[in-house]
Structure 1
């Protein structure tokens, strides 16, 4: 798996404070015991849609406030900063269940009734296991976000003309990883008491890609039921915020 990369924060402090706190909590999580992680939830009954789980979050404010472009920030810089942060967080979230995502348990990269295939630089289509697919994703994104010609960090250096296209590609791949975690490894996330982090991360990511039209709605439609639930603010009395 690719190692985490970092980028100097360029947005509002609250968003980056939330990201740092999420990283810190996941790194220092206490094990609740090993989940067995046998079968993914079925199409008829999705555990991640049950109210007792969807109401668990790690923040109690509107995440849309974190993604709106500040007036003093360049759009490309904002996209770069947030995309890099989401890469780090999703990479980390996947790492918490990676020992249960193997070539035997996840023989294909699936989410709902969708099987994702990997396309190499020459456009060759390959069906691979979920851990192989995720490794391809994280390695590619790591390479892109650490390339100074694509994600410049030095003052005055311009973003490439194809930057937004690359950001959209990255976000599409990251969505696939999140969708697979929910579909195949939500039980493990619940067993480790990390579903609140997963719900918050997913909601934050969906709000971000919708704000800037970064992923085709047809691509994310397989998770529309979850997106609708999580992106609708809960009444204060029902919002169960996990305290750490």
Structure 2
């Protein structure tokens, strides 16, 4: 029997501390609205649509942070199996390899073990979403002009976590009874990025066949 969500995604499995929304803020209210829609059993294609009268950047910000939290939990469930020995390269099978570049410590695309890549990726995302100049939380402070571009890069890199987990660790996911929960998270993510054209189709190629089966 599959485990419940609380058992599968337990607190001690979280790969990173969860980013939370401040109660009383508009972002928090949007987050609650999005979560309520998810739990209502509505079609995920409808759940991701921008609510009438809401700001698209606020809606994107809420989802980027939520996907960051959820994908942290997903990777946390398999991170003990993702070692330098089992995954010496951050990849998605034999055809796809991801190299890390951040313009600072890693100025050129660098081949890394998957676990090291994941650590750097989550640090990088956390730095961005905690940066008030990129993800402003104060009322009246506008989003920067490059906000959606930053979000596209974050979401594109988070997709690579799905690629690695599905291709290299799905047996572990299934043994924990977590596949239904991860599939739902992936579908939610896929419908959202598709709704707002946030990732180039070429980036999604590694999971194209699986996506066609579970998202169409």
Structure having the larger proportion of residues in helix: 2
Unaligned runs of 5+ in 2: 1-14, 22-26
- For the residues of structure 1 that align with 2:66 and 2:109, how far apart are their CA atoms? 29
Structure 1 contact 10–78 (Cα < 8 Å) conserved: no
- For the residues of structure 2 that align with 1:214 and 1:64, how far apart are their CA atoms? 15
Q: 1:115 aligns with which of 97, 104, 108?
A: 97
Counterpart of 2:133 in structure 1 is: 149
Q: CA deviation at 1:228?
A: 1.0
What is the TM-score of this pair, normalised by structure 1? 0.75
Structure 1 contact 4–88 (Cα < 8 Å) conserved: yes
Q: 2:150 aligns with which of 136, 141, 166?
A: 166
CA pair 134-18 structure 1, distance change in 2 beyond 3 A: farther
Q: Matches of residues 201-220 of structure 1 in structure 2 within 5 Å? A: 201-220=185-204
Q: Matches of residues 1-244 of structure 1 in structure 2 within 5 Å? A: 1-7=15-21, 8-11=27-30, 13=32, 15-17=34-36, 61-112=42-93, 113-122=95-104, 123-232=107-216
Q: CA deviation at 1:10?
A: 4.0
What is the TM-score of this pair, normalised by structure 2? 0.84
Structure 2 contact 37–47 (Cα < 8 Å) conserved: no
Q: CA deviation at 1:152?
A: 1.1
CA pair 221-135 structure 1, distance change in 2 beyond 3 A: same
Q: CA deviation at 1:72?
A: 1.4
Structure 2 contact 30–59 (Cα < 8 Å) conserved: yes
CA pair 218-212 structure 1, distance change in 2 beyond 3 A: same
Structure 1 contact 137–173 (Cα < 8 Å) conserved: yes
Q: CA deviation at 1:11?
A: 2.8
CA pair 87-12 structure 1, distance change in 2 beyond 3 A: closer
Counterpart of 1:50 in structure 2 is: none
Unaligned runs of 5+ in 1: 22-58, 233-244
| Greater relative contact order structure (CA < 8 Å, 6+ sep) | 1
Aligned length: 194
Structure 1 contact 118–133 (Cα < 8 Å) conserved: yes
